[in-house]
Structure 1
Amino acid sequence: MVAEHSRLRQAREGRAPWRKWGPYLSERQWGTVREDYSESGDAWSYFSHDQARSRAYRWGEDGLAGLSDDHQHLCFALALWNGRDPILKERLFGLTNSEGNHGEDVKEYYFYLDSTPTHSYMKYLYKYPQAAYPYEDLVRTNAGRGRGDYEYELLDTGVFDGDRYFDVFVEYAKASPEDILVQITVCNRGPEEAQLHLLPTLWFRNTWSWVAERERPQLRSAPGPAIVCSHQVLGTRVLDCEGAPTLLFTENETNAQRLFGAANGSPFVKDGFHDYVVHGLREAVNGQGKGTKAAAHYVLAVAASGARTVRLRLHDGAPGNAFGTGFEQILQARQREAEEFYAGVIPPQLDADQRNVMRQALAGMLWGKQFYYYDVEGWLDQHGADPFDPRRRGPRNGQWSHMFNADVISMPDKWEYPWYAAWDLAFHVLALTLVDEDFGKEQLDLMLRARYLHPNGQIPAYEWNFGDVNPPVHAWATLFTYGLQARRGEADVQFLEEAFHKLSLNFAWWVNRKDRNGSNVFEGGFLGLDNIGVFDRSSPLPTGGYLEQADGTAWMALFSQNMLEIAIELALQRPAYVDMVIKYLHHFLLIGQSMLRTGADGGMWDEEDGFFYDVLRLPDGRAQRLKVRSMVGLLPLCAVTVYDGKLAARYPELLGRLGRTLADHAGLRSLIHDPMATGHAGRHMASLLDEGKLRRVLARMLDEGEFFGPCGLRSLSRYHVAHPYVLNAGGREYRVDYLPAESDSGMFGGNSNWRGPVWMPVNMLVIRALLQYYRYFGDGFRIECPTGSGRQMTLYQVAEELARRLGSIFLRGADGRRPVYGGTRKFQDDPHWRDLILFYEYFHGENGAGLGASHQTGWTGIIARTMHLFATTSAERILASGVPRPASELQAA
């Protein structure tokens, strides 16, 4: 057992709190819903980046390369000044949703290079220009660009020209759970000596300004030099600082005079270090060496192409004696142990470039954790709202007053989306469980706890609107996580059983709230697929009536299959769950029958096109399929699950009950795949598509002129380049065009474009479905791939080809270039940039260039799972798998 596995086991058993300290600091707390106390609910405008340096946060903290304890009492991060910037660089800068021509966007270059799951070792890189940071230029130039223009990026401003910038590497290594070594290495990439003010900063989250009786913690100066931290919960901590920096102290309190023209409660305020360093105001810091925010101020002259190193140590011992040979030995040991750990995670079959991509994807997943604090009842009360009084409505989330969030959660992106999103989180778990199955399980369990799950059974969506509707993929991720351990003979049946009961509540919520007429066809609004439809599907339709959604209904078909699988697994051990098997099978059959119904009141399947579409139900009773070829129509393909019959062998009488249930839906057998038909190795399959429909959908999906792009499945068919979908309603034209890159529509904000780009999570769902079909059909089912190529493939080979195309986004091709970086030469050619990987929110439908949020390792990080799957699994192993699906090899998909 490698050292990191031992630490994980100690943490699991409660013997040592190895996860107590980690990268739990946000990268943007300003502009979030929690910090919004405006009447309009405009979070972006109420608390700006400019205010953030001077205004104390209520619910969290942010910083560069940040570290905190798991309740964010004490925080550590970097502050930098190059002698030219108008402000001290304490946090990342980016454009708000209204400032960017494609929505919000971070305008910085930073990279998560490494992390172990207990954060015993972490490494981070921030690229800091030596010229003045072009804040105004970025805002002004982007404001002058339209949706059809490229975004104006930091590299475009010229501040990195001539390599005049610093690479600031930050490494953390734990000697013990409470003893953290910090090494900061500043590399000058420029041709001349340059000076950098480096301020490793330690501060307390402000908890005392909001509660009168709350005790104020304190930081104070000590010989060494050192900063001693005294906190009522944490106790005493010490930050030892190597060398002879100047220790600075102020208070983490709002500068009301600067922001509001009001008197300050203290002469020492949050932006005191900015005034001291940038403006030379010595009186801005507390000369008595105490406060709630402190920094060690180093002024480094870094030679051309040279480097300087600063070391610190945060621990629970006495000040002093923190450095010497022991420091270097511990750091090297943790670096070595990280290599040993990942040698057992990353398949040896991968080449060096593939290993690099996979390692950085997993590092991003682990750095993406954040302490998330949001007491919704308290927040609503601060707004003067009362969830039980309709006259006192809050700006949002008024029906979620039960929620109290104070946990470390995996974030989609700690700058652009520094709040959890339930369906994102389900995909995060796919990658996280490669390195930390315990944390993956905890994340899934968290969303189902009483202080998260709504009493009516809804899973919270995200802080902008917890009541919005995310696709129901939680059961799928739960099965996946359970299966990893079950495959090793370590099945956590209690975890599965507890999840099943809460997921049953969520399933009932969907059935009761999103099936308008009780007809087993579902709505749900936009369901995450921003900009993909004709209308804003979360708003009243301009035509009147309502939509029957092919994606919402397909999600529910998959949900019913997942619940059926869980019920089977539980019934194999506990007979009480046999009835639940029948229940969820019945749900699946009803959904399939409604989705595929024929006749004048037809369903979502279009026989002429061989594809699924949303159905518009008009007020006068007429129905119209909205013939947009999009991911909406591919998702029914993903509603597939294969069974091996073990349950029937355990309970022979069950066959009779299954037969009677199927007999009640005799006509359905001609519409969907016959669940009684046997496939490879005697397996059975639940699928919305029979073989004929499957071949027709696959033919469209694998057509390079439609969905099958060079870097993965496009979310909208290229067919709509020449054939845009147009609908006239109420004297207005509604149109869907194929857009290979960014959106030209403001629907849902403007930087989430599904009309052509490649999205990693839905591609992964398709891969999982292809492997399920392969388990059933075996090598006898072959399909032309790509369509029209004349090349016949098994469905395993199709899945493998799709995975290869997705992986190619990040890997250097034969020309040495990575598609993810498009034409950005710095990333393609420069040795200090070319092996650094960004995991974007989505990707250009034609060339794979990264688009949207640049650090959405959250769900794009599942590329690590894809790379692992096809390096460690083979078609033969999948076909040979004869165990129940939750414990099968297929669960890796």
Structure 2
Amino acid sequence: MDAERERLRQAAAPDAPWRLWGPYLSERQWGTVREDYSGDGDAWSSFPHDHARSRAYRWGEDGLGGISDAEQRLCLSVALWNGRDPILKERPFGLTNGEGNHGEDVKEYYFYLDNTPTHSYMRFLYKYPQAPFPYNDLVSTNRARGRQEFEYELLDTGVFEGGRYFDVFVEYAKAAPEDVLVEVTVANRGPDEAVLHVLPTLWFRNTWSWGGDPPRPLLRADGRGHVAAEHPELGGYHLYVDDGDVPLLFTENETHNERVFGTPSASPYVKDGIGRHVVDGDAAAVNPAGTGTKAAAHHVLTVPGGGAATVRVRLAGARLDAPFGAGFDGTLRERRGEADAFYAPLVPAGATADEALVLRQALAGLLWSKQYYHFDVETWLAEHGSDPWTPSGLRDHGWFDMTAGDVIVMPDKWEYPWFAAWDLAFHAVALAAVDMDLAKHQVEVLLGDRYLHANGQIPAYEWNFGDVNPPVHAWAARFVHTLDRRLTGNDDLDFLERVFQKLLLNFTWWVNRKDPDGRNVFQGGFLGLDNIGVFDRSAPLPTGGSLDQADGTAWMAFYAQTMLQIAAVLSDRDPGYEDLAVRFAQHFLRISASIDRVGDVKDEMWDEEDGFFYDVLRLPDGSATRLKVRSLVGLLPLCASTVFLPHPDPGEARLLDRVRDFATRHPTVTRGMSAAGREGAGGRRLLSLLDEHKLRRVLAIMLDEEEFLSPHGIRSLSRRHAGRPYEFRTDGQVHRVAYLPAESDSGMFGGNSNWRGPVWFPMNALIVRALLNLHAFYGDGFTVECPTGSGHRMTLYEVSREITSRLVGVFLRGPDGRRPVYGGQRTFQEDPHWRDLLSFHEYFHGDDGAGIGAAHQTGWTALVATFMILHSDLTAADFQAGGGAEGPATS
């Protein structure tokens, strides 16, 4: 066992807290709902970036490539100043929702280069211009642009011309669980000597200013190059600075009230004191007594053109006699080597160096995306003058009993520094390859009693906990359990049972709340797909009436399938689960019959003429019409395809007999399912919403390069809508959906998300899973044209490989030396200091694969690593032998 895997084993024990310290700082705490104390819910304006350097946060902290303990009590990060900026660079800058022409967006370049699961080794890169940072230019230029124009990026401002910038590498290495070595290497990429101020900064999250008179922590100078930290819960820590002659600057993590609110401050030493001292030369802004709750070691580096300089500090939970020297350098080298050894087995045999680079940076970025998320909603409401029992218009009022305080993997720690329920399920799937314990925790965290609503609803995201994300937690739990068993032999039924019990509540919530007419047809609303539909599906319809959602209904079919799978597994240990397995089989069969009633019924979702599924708009007068938008909404029924292996266990045979009996007594539930009641390849059984006829019709559309199949995966909207937009007219208004391969031209959901053309990795993952299940059932005798019209026939397994190859190709350097993810950005394509730095974007251009949306959203796009790891381990022979069909890919 390599050293990092041994640390993971030890991390499960309380006496080896390898997880205590990690990258748990947000990159943006300002502009969040948690910090919004406005009267109108405008979080961006309530706490803007201009306040962030001067105003103490209530619920969390942010920093640049920083770390904290697992409850974010003590934080360590790096602040920078190039001698020309108006402020100290302590956190990434970006545009608010109203400032960007495509919604909020970070306007910095930083990269997560490496990370191990216990954070024994981490490496981060920030690119800092030597010219003044163009804050005003970025805001004014983007604000002036329309939605039809590209975003104005930092490279567009010209501040990186001539290589006049610093590459600031920050490396962390743990000598022990509570002994963290930090090395900051500053590389001057320009031709001329340049000065950079580097300030490793240590501070306590402000927990003492919000009432209750809690004990106050303390930082104090304790000799040359030494800051002692004392915290009533965390205990004592020591920050050592290699250069003992650098000044130690102290202030308080308190709001500068005079600057922010025009009222007296609690102390002359406030949060922005260090910045005012360094940037403005205000000597009185820092405490000469050498005490406070925020401290920094002020290094001034003169770096020659093309040269580099280094700063070293060490944070330890005990006093050290010799914190630097050969031991420091040796530990860094050792941890780098151990990180290499940890990732080596994950790289598929025969993979190129470029493929290995993509896999490692994807997983490293996912591990960097952890954040301590703290939010006590009842306290927040009280501080707004509300209480749980008095109706109010405050956001998330109905979630007063939610109390968050966990390390959670975020979609993006700047643009989305808060969890999103369905994102988190996909994060768990990707994490399972590197950190099984963390993957399980991420599946379970939102199902715990501090998060899950009493009615069974899973909180969606902090802007609206009551919104509805797709129900993918059951699938994620099943995937993680299966991969754990396959990789380690650990059949963790306790985990599966804990999750299943909570999901029973959630499934019941879905059935009771989102099937209002009791027709087994679901109206989920938003469902995470933002602007994919004709209307805002979270708002009342302009026509009145209701919307039968093909995706909502398919999600529930998929949910029923995975709950059936889990119940069947648990019934091997406890026969009592057999009844629940039968119940979920019945749920699926009812939904299957409802989504496509026998015959050409005008108000059903399946359109026989088109060979596709559509949402159905039900009008107040009782009439109905299909909304003929060819989108992922109509591909979701394909994803509800799950294969079951033959099982010699008597309980399994009894379960199958009970399901057959239900189908025999109610033949209408299986009339549209050609696979119902018959065995497929290897004696397998299939539950699917599509019979073979419908499957071929849908696949012909999905695999058409003029429709869904792009060079880089499956698009979210058919390309046919480029020339033929869908229009729906009502009350003199035209509601229009057109193919938009890049950014959205709609302000719906803030305007910074687009499901009208780009490629999204999570939905592609579910499509690939479905294809593997369908191949496991139909076998090699079932082939389709891929691409449609090409004359080239493939098995569904080969189709799945083709799609994943296109997805992975988004990040790989092609024969022309260019990576599709970076589109036409020449610097990223050609400059040796940029070309191997990857950003795992939120979604990707539907035609050329360029990265769109949140630039640092490793999040669910880390699934690229899952595609590479799992598909390299699967062959057609696996499926023929039965092995692959029960592997994680088909789970």
Q: What range is the shorter-chain TM-score in?
A: over 0.9
Find the aligned partners of 2:890 and 2:302 in 1 and give their Cα distance. 50
The answer to whether the 8 A contact 1:204-1:252 is kept is yes
What residue in structure 1 maps to residue 570 of structure 2?
570
- Equivalent residue runs for 1:361-440 within 5 Å: 361-390=362-391, 393=392, 395-440=394-439
Q: 1:812 to 1:655 in 2, by over 3 A?
A: closer
User: In 2, Cα distance between the equivalents of 1:654 and 1:36?
Assistant: 52
Separation in structure 1 between the aligned mates of residue 566 and residue 850 of structure 2, nearest angstrom: 39
Shift of 1:800: 0.3
Higher mean Cα deviation, 187-196 or 597-606?
Answer: 597-606
* Partner residue in 2 for 1:659: 660
The residue aligned with 1:460 is 459
Shift of 1:387: 2.0
**Residue 46 of structure 1: aligned partner:** 46
Amino acid at match of 2:462: E
Contact map agreement 1:543 1:729 (CA 8 A) in 2: yes
* 1:214 matched residue in structure 2: 214
Alignment RMSD (CA, Å): 1.2
The one-letter code matched in structure 2 to 1:485 is D
Cα pair distance change 1:413/1:524, threshold 3 Å: same
Matching of residue 478 in structure 1 with residue 487 in structure 2: no
Corresponding residue of 2:817 = 816
The residue number in structure 2 matching 1:857 is: 858
Match of 2:547 in 1: 547
Matched, 1:329 2:330: yes
Instruction: Give the CA deviation at 1:880.
Output: 1.5
Could you list the per-position Cα deviations for residues 756-791 of structure 1 after superposition, in whole angstroms to 9, with x for gaps in the alignment?
A: 100010011000000000111111110000000000
1:769 aligns with 2:770: yes
**1:697-740: CA deviation from partner (whole Å, max 9, x where unpaired):** 00000000000001111100011111111111111111111111
Name the SS for the 1:490 alignment partner. Answer: coil
| Mapping 1:513-662, distance limit 5 Å | 513-597=513-597, 598-600=599-601, 602-646=603-647, 649-662=650-663
Q: What does residue range 748-827 of structure 1 map to in structure 2 within 5 Å?
A: 748-827=749-828
* Matched position secondary structure for 2:503: helix
The Cα of 1:674 is off from its aligned counterpart by 3.0
In the TM superposition, what whole-angstrom CA distance separates every residue of 1:15-49 from its partner, at most 9, and x where no partner exists? 30000000000000000000001110100110000
**C-alpha distance after superposition, 1:506-531 (max 9, x if no partner):** 00000000001000000111211111
Q: How far apart are residue 349 of structure 1 and its match?
A: 2.3
Judge conservation of contact 1:349–1:871 (CA < 8 Å) in 2: no
Matches of 1:659 and 1:223, distance apart in 2: 78
Letter in structure 1 aligned against 2:115? S
Q: What is the alpha-carbon distance in structure 1 between the residues aligned to residue 848 and residue 883 of structure 2? A: 40
Partner of 1:154: 154
Letter in 2 for 1:369: K
Other-structure match for 2:123? 123
Task: Tell me which amino acid in the other structure corresponds to 2:443.
Answer: L
CA deviations over 1:796-816 (Å, ceiling 9, x no partner):
110000001101110000100
| CA distance, structure 2, for counterparts of residue 340 and residue 692 of structure 1 | 49
Counterparts of 1:329 and 1:136, CA distance in 2: 44
CA contact (8 A) 1:130 1:166 kept: yes
How far apart, in 2, do the equivalents of 1:99 and 1:457 lie?
A: 37
C-alpha contact (below 8 Å) 2:479/2:888 kept by paired residues: no
Where structure 2 has 5 or more consecutive residues not aligned to the other structure, the ranges are none
User: Residues of 2 paired with 1:368 and 1:207: CA distance?
Assistant: 24
TM-score by length of 2: 0.98
Amino acid at match of 1:615: V
Distance 2:267 2:393 in 1: 32
Deviations 1:484-514 (A, max 9, x none): 1222431111111111111011000000000
| Separation (CA, whole Å) in 2 of partners of 1:276 and 1:489 | 58
User: 1-side partners of 2:119 and 2:652: how far apart?
Assistant: 47
1:573 Cα deviation after fit: 2.0
Change (3 A) 1:321 1:789: same
- 1:810-843 per-residue CA deviation (whole Å, 9 max, x = no partner) reads 0000100000000000000000000000000001
What is the alpha-carbon distance in structure 1 between the residues aligned to residue 52 and residue 846 of structure 2?
A: 37
The alpha carbon displacement at 1:655 in A equals 4.1
- The separation in 2 between residues aligned to 1:530 and 1:880, in whole angstroms, is 41
1:19 aligns with 2:4: no
1:685/1:600 Cα in 2 relative to 1: closer, same or farther (>3 Å)? closer
Identical residues among aligned pairs (%): 61
Q: How many residues align?
A: 888
SS at match of 1:329: helix
**Greater CA deviation, 569-578 or 350-359?**
569-578
Partners of 1:13 and 1:881 in 2: how far apart?
37
Give the aligned partner of residue 31 of structure 2: 31
Identify the range of structure 1 (212-221 vs 627-636) with the bigger mean alpha-carbon deviation: 212-221
Aligned-pair CA distance for 1:600: 4.3
- The match for 2:62 is 62
> Contact 2:377–2:399 at 8 Å: present in 1 too?
yes
Contact in 1 for aligned 2:870/2:889 (Cα 8 Å)? no
User: 1:553-612 CA distances to partner (integer Å, 9 max, x unpaired)?
Assistant: 000000000000001101122111111111000000100111001454531100000000
Q: Deviations over 1:186-226 (max 9, x none)?
A: 00000000000110000000001112421111101122311
The farther-off stretch of 96-105 and 216-225 is: 216-225
1:889 aligned onto 2:890: no
The residue identity in structure 2 corresponding to 1:568 is A
Partner of 1:175: 175
Cα distance in 1, alignment partners of residues 669 and 653 from structure 2: 24
Report the counterpart of residue 500 of structure 2 in structure 1. 500
2:445 corresponding residue in structure 1: 446
Q: Counterparts in 2 of 1:681-700, with a 5 A limit?
A: 681-700=682-701
Query: For 2:72, what is the secondary structure of its paired residue?
Result: coil
Report the Cα offset of residue 131 of structure 1.
Answer: 0.1
TM-superposed CA distance for 1:432, in Å, is 0.7
Matched, 1:728 2:732: no
Tell me how far 1:681 sits from its aligned partner.
Answer: 0.4
Residue 498 of structure 1 aligns to which amino acid in structure 2? Answer: R
CA distance in structure 1 between the aligned counterparts of 2:240 and 2:500, rounded to whole angstroms:
49
Q: Residue type matched to 1:404 in 2?
A: T
1:94-130 C-alpha deviation (Å, 9 max, x unpaired): 0001100000000000000000000000000000000
CA separation in 1, counterparts of 2:261 and 2:654?
75
Q: Residues 18, 575 of structure 1: CA spacing in aligned structure 2 closer, same or farther, 3 A cutoff?
A: same
Give the match for residue 288 of structure 1: 289
Alpha-carbon shift at residue 648 of structure 1 (Å): 6.2
CA contact (8 A) 1:644 1:882 kept: no
Residues 742 and 845, structure 2, Cα contact 8 Å, conserved in 1:
yes
Per-residue deviation, 1:394: 5.0
Separation (CA, whole Å) in 2 of partners of 1:673 and 1:349? 41
**Whole-Å Cα distance in 2 between the matches of residues 16 and 482 of structure 1?**
25
Aligned partners of 2:418 and 2:462 also within 8 Å: yes
Q: Which of 142-151 and 313-322 deviates more? A: 313-322
| Higher mean C-alpha deviation, range 656-665 or range 418-427 | 656-665
Which shifted more, 182-191 or 650-659?
A: 650-659
d(CA) in 1 for partners of 2:490 and 2:461? 33
1:164 counterpart residue number = 164
> What CA distance in whole angstroms lies between the structure 1 residues aligned with 2:855 and 2:605?
36
Structure 2 residue identity aligned to 1:252: N
Structure-2 separation of matches of 1:291 and 1:665? 73
Tell me if the contact between 1:648 and 1:655 (Cα under 8 Å) persists in the aligned partners. no
Contact 2:115 2:121 in 1 (8 A): yes
